[in-house]
A and B are shown apart, each in its own frame.
Chain A
Amino acid sequence: MKLSTEKTENCQVIFNIEVEPPEMEKYLDEAYTHLVEEYKVPGFRKGKTPRPILENYLGQGALVEHALEHLVPELCNMAIEEQKITAIAYPDVEITELEPVKFKATVSVQPIIELGDYHSITIEPDKVEVTEKDIANTMEQLREQKAKWEPVTRSVAIDDMVKIDVKSVVGDETVIDEKERFYMVKKESPLPIPGFAEQLVGIEPGETKEFNLSFPAEHEDKNLAGKNYAIKVTVHEIKEKHLPDVNDDFAKSIGDDIDSLDTLRKRLETNLHSMAESNVRQTLEDKIIEEITKVSKICFPPIMVEQEIGKFLTDMAKQFGGGETGLNTFLKSSGKTLEEIKNELKPSAESKITRSLILREVSQDAKLTITDEEINTYLEEIINSDPAITEDMSNAIKSPSGRETARQILLGKKTFQHLVDIVTHVSTPVTEEKAQIEEAAAPAENETK
């Protein structure tokens, strides 16, 4: 075997392997012993055909082809062993020549990460702030949700809900013919035709109005742009929106355990605060990863991206019934081809991989570990947090694989905490301990908490 290797940028190693004749002969022989038992050549009993006759009978390439099936994986493994490479997937093989046999095997190897000096990264986390205005906005949204619609006997105004019959005929063709449809009269509503809502304003209940409307010439849909419709509308019912007053009664209607407006306000504030907090945390985490990516050298083979995308697609397929059919339904519903979806997913898959690689590397670098007790408390919390969790489910959560997942989650969290402490320069026990270890240059038994 003649072997030459080249390394590519994205963690792949390419082997150029040429098989030498004596070696090839060995594999051809093997192939013959296999094939001779399989084929019955006229004039010979099974397994008794001499090799030249069998070769002739099956055609030139048959033996070589069969030999390659065994030869390629074996030689790839030999090459991998020889080069001391940890492959993470089966090599991608491309046969370039048959006489003598030459082939090119692309092996994906373990991703390489060289963390840069992430200790010197400084990121100022955004301030967590909840303003009066935010609370007021949320309050307003709640009012909208609890709004009541009450029938009125005046003419149509903006922000009303109306029950209407609509009919529109263009030429001989009836375009719309709807009876007793509810319609929200919203200002500058683009539906069904821009200006429709404004035309309704002022119609008395029970009255019928006829008017012409046309789509603007620059409308997005080329089929509709500039088209003119004659429309006939009959208004049956008009309802007005009544927003509830902000008082204790309103507060009570929001939730059973809220008894006054004050409690509601406080509840909103805490909710908004925790939301803002987690948002800030999220952006901080994203920023950290981004910064670390900048200073570090990270490379991973494309096959990892493929796998990540594959995982996502299987998940999606599961939601659409699972398997091949599920995947097809999903594709149909999204209206894209498999290729397009894959391309779309690529960046997110890549960033996901980068993220997990960095986290793993940092956790190893900082020698973070998760103890069994930590896992236990975490699992207990999950089980206790939801009364709907049954005995079976809690058993599943406590299973070894469940514990492993929990460990991963906790480790991820801890690593992020570690990183956050570093970039914000908060001195916590973890960093101190780490500093001590570094000083002592003896990273032996360090049980970080």
Chain B
Amino acid sequence: MHNFEILRRPIVTEKSTASMTQRKYGFEVVKSASKTQVKEAVQQAFKVDVTKVNMITVHGKTRKRGTRVITSPSWRKAIVTLKSGDKIELFEGV
């Protein structure tokens, strides 16, 4: 899988914007991605140095529709920490 296919979208929320002050940026990544892959993808895409990658599986939410139970797909979130001084401009405005 090519590096650029790893990252799906940046995550822009109140929480993620707040953690940007600590140089932590969130992405949705493909489920099968490994931390190394994410690190390399971010480094290549944004020309920055990644010091740390944390990954969480966000479980899909279930809701009932009549008798059926529907689950929205679960996905994987990666939070990358950059070397001090680095920045990803993309997040400035999304």
Residues of chain A at the chain B interface (Cβ within 8 Å): 43-45, 48, 50, 52-53, 55-56
A85 to B34, CA, bound (A): 72
A48 to B94, CA, bound (A): 15
Tell me the smallest distance from the CB of A39 to a CB of chain B, in Å.
14
21 A-B pairs within 8 Å (CB atoms) are namely A43-B11, A43-B12, A43-B13, A43-B14, A43-B16, A44-B13, A44-B14, A44-B17, A45-B14, A48-B14, A50-B17, A52-B92, A52-B93, A53-B12, A53-B17, A53-B93, A53-B94, A55-B93, A56-B92, A56-B93, A56-B94
Tell me the smallest distance from the CB of B46 to a CB of chain A, in Å.
17
Q: How many B residues have CB within 8 A of the partner chain?
A: 9
Residues of B near A52 (CB, < 8 A) are 92-93
The SS class assigned to the A binding surface is: loop
Having A44-B17, A45-B14, one finds 9 other A-B pairs with CB under 8 Å, namely A43-B12, A43-B16, A48-B14, A53-B12, A53-B93, A53-B94, A56-B92, A56-B93, A56-B94
A327 to B14, CA, bound (A): 55
Nearest A-chain residue to B13, judged by Cβ: A43
Question: Which of B1-49 touch A at CB < 8 Å?
Answer: 11-14, 16-17
A53 to B93, CA, bound (A): 5
Residues of B near A48 (CB, < 8 A) are 14
8 A-B pairs with the lowest CB-CB distances in the bound complex, closest first: A56-B93, A43-B13, A44-B14, A52-B92, A43-B12, A48-B14, A52-B93, A50-B17
Tell me the smallest distance from the CB of A60 to a CB of chain B, in Å.
10
A224 to B68, CA, bound (A): 84
A56 to B10, CA, bound (A): 15
Nearest B-chain residue to A45, judged by Cβ: B14
Residues of A near B94 (CB, < 8 A) are 53, 56
Residues of B near A55 (CB, < 8 A) are 93
Residues of A near B11 (CB, < 8 A) are 43
